[in-house]
Amino acid sequence: SWLQFHLGISHDGLYPRSSPTVDRLLQDMRDFTTISAVVKPSGVHLKLVLRFQDFGKAMFKPMRQKREEETPEDFFYFVDFQRHNAEIAAFHLDRILDFRRVPPTVGRLINVTKEILEVTKNEILQSVFFVSPASNVCFFAKCPYMCKTEYAVCGNPHLLEGSLSAFLPSLNLAPRLSIPNPWIRSYSFDGKEEWEVNPLYCDTVREIYPYSNGNRLLNIIDMAIFDFLIGNMDRHHYEMFTKFGDDGFLLHLDNARGFGRHSHDETSILAPLSQCCTIKRTTLLRLQLLAEPEYRLSDVMRESLLQDRLAPVLTEPHLLALDRRLQLILKAVRKCI
């Protein structure tokens, strides 16, 4: 199913609108036996690459925060937790919005002893397993910033919740570009980027290729709408497949910092929409549909997330926040007219 998924990637998205392949892939990630586990060497938080019996690969992000916990108000976005349930919910939302730019993602209970420790050949990973004072099996990973024993993840006593996101084709087969987001945030405690102080910033962006023509700017606005709905402030770069050229779709990767605060709507994420005052017609029509009582976004998400084994994936306040934020997006569109 991994190969079928990779072959189905097109100019329009990671998978077709009606794709039995994706459903099979989700099922395989839920059920297949792991045969190896290695630490993903990049990033701040612990991530593992799991390989399955059919040699497919997925990124495993372990549970670090309980669903009912909110990110503290004093946290900066660049030190926020990474939430496994945010990765799962982001995939479902992306599919509901008909973007199809998030890799297929499922929740799974992993036995950290049998499915990680006993299958890994990585001596470093083997060496960081320990039993906690509560008799739970825990592990951490050696990574550049925060992966120490105090940041370990623990089973209960062996079982650990996490998200599994299907790997994309290797960069050798399907090269990708990583491009800075024009609306990147300042990754310092007191700095501001130009877009935060210049309401006419979009005029500058429109003069720069490839934002001066084609779909790139509209795709950036799609991405901003998606990030606003999930509350993700950490979109510093985006990736694209080189094969599809400048008008190809943008990948919506690394969504684990979404769904942190249901009680706060970070409207600055919508700056590309509010400053550029443009939106794809198809995106607007989908948003308007999901604002109708019979197709309410929170209801569609709730039903979609019930398919996941870790349901409920989101708490009710997070689902209701989607409806509230959708209304704010439509309000921003109306202000542009």
pLDDT tens readout for residues 67-78: 888 776 655 555
Give the mean model confidence (pLDDT) for residues 250-263: 94
pLDDT at 40: 79
pLDDT at 87 over 70: yes
pLDDT at 110: 96
Evaluate whether 220 touches 278 at the Cβ level (below 8 Å): no
Read off the amino acid at residue 273: L
Evaluate whether 96 touches 300 at the Cβ level (below 8 Å): yes
Token reading at 295? 């197709």
Please name the residues in contact with 333: beta carbons below 8 A apart, sequence gap of 6 or more: 273, 279, 284
Annotated binding site for ATP: 61, 165-168, 239, 254
Evaluate whether 48 touches 142 at the Cβ level (below 8 Å): no
pLDDT at 277 over 60: yes
Give the mean model confidence (pLDDT) for residues 65-92: 79
pLDDT at 191: 75
For tokens 């099996």, the residue is: 137
pTM for the full predicted model: 0.94
Ranking 127-136, 147-156, 188-197, 295-304 by mean pLDDT, the lowest is 147-156
Using pLDDT thresholds of 50, 70 and 90, give the confidence band for residue 153. Answer: confident
Q: Tell me which of 186 and 142 has the higher pLDDT.
A: 186
Query: What radius of gyration do the chain's Cα atoms show?
Result: 20
Helix, coil or strand: residue 129: strand
Annotated binding site: 61, 165-168, 239, 254
Q: Give the whole-angstrom CA distance, residue 224 versus residue 269.
A: 6
Please name the residues in contact with 56: beta carbons below 8 A apart, sequence gap of 6 or more: 1, 2, 25, 28, 29, 32, 166, 167
Ranking 106-115, 182-191, 286-295 by mean pLDDT, the lowest is 182-191
pLDDT at 74: 56
For tokens 């690969």, the residue is: 57
Q: Give the whole-angstrom CA distance, residue 88 versus residue 32.
A: 18
Using pLDDT thresholds of 50, 70 and 90, give the confidence band for residue 18. Answer: confident
173-227 pLDDT, tens per residue?
Answer: 999 999 999 999 876 667 788 999 999 999 999 999 999 988 999 999 999 999 9
Per-residue b/e over 250-271, b at no fewer than 16 CB within 10 Å? bbbbbbbbbbbbbeebeeebbb
Closest CA to 246 of 172, 179, 174: 179
pLDDT at 146 over 60: no
> What residues are annotated to the active site?
234
pLDDT at 315: 97
pLDDT at 125: 86
Q: Give the whole-angstrom CA distance, residue 13 versus residue 230.
A: 20
Sketch the domain layout of the chain as residue ranges: 2-166, 176-336
Helix, coil or strand: residue 334: helix
Average model confidence (pLDDT) for the chain? 91
Token reading at 308? 């996941």
Closest CA to 44 of 142, 123, 118, 112: 142
pLDDT at 185: 87
Annotated binding site for Mn(2+): 254
Which ranges of 186-296 would DSSP assign to H, the alpha helix? 194-197, 201-206, 216-230, 271-276, 281-290
Neighbours of 194 (CB within 10 A): 12
Evaluate whether 57 touches 277 at the Cβ level (below 8 Å): no
pLDDT at 141 over 60: yes
pLDDT at 73: 67
How does DSSP classify residue 116? I
Neighbours of 208 (CB within 10 A): 11
Give the mean model confidence (pLDDT) for residues 315-323: 98
Evaluate whether 126 touches 116 at the Cβ level (below 8 Å): no
Q: Give the whole-angstrom CA distance, residue 289 versus residue 146.
A: 42
Residue 251 sits at the vertex; the CA angle it makes with 329 and 212, to the nearest 5 degrees, is 70
pLDDT at 109 over 70: yes
230-250 pLDDT, tens per residue?
Answer: 999 989 999 999 999 999 999
182: left (phi over 0), alpha (psi -120 to 50) or beta: alpha
28-67 pLDDT, tens per residue?
Answer: 999 999 999 998 765 557 889 999 998 899 999 999 888 8
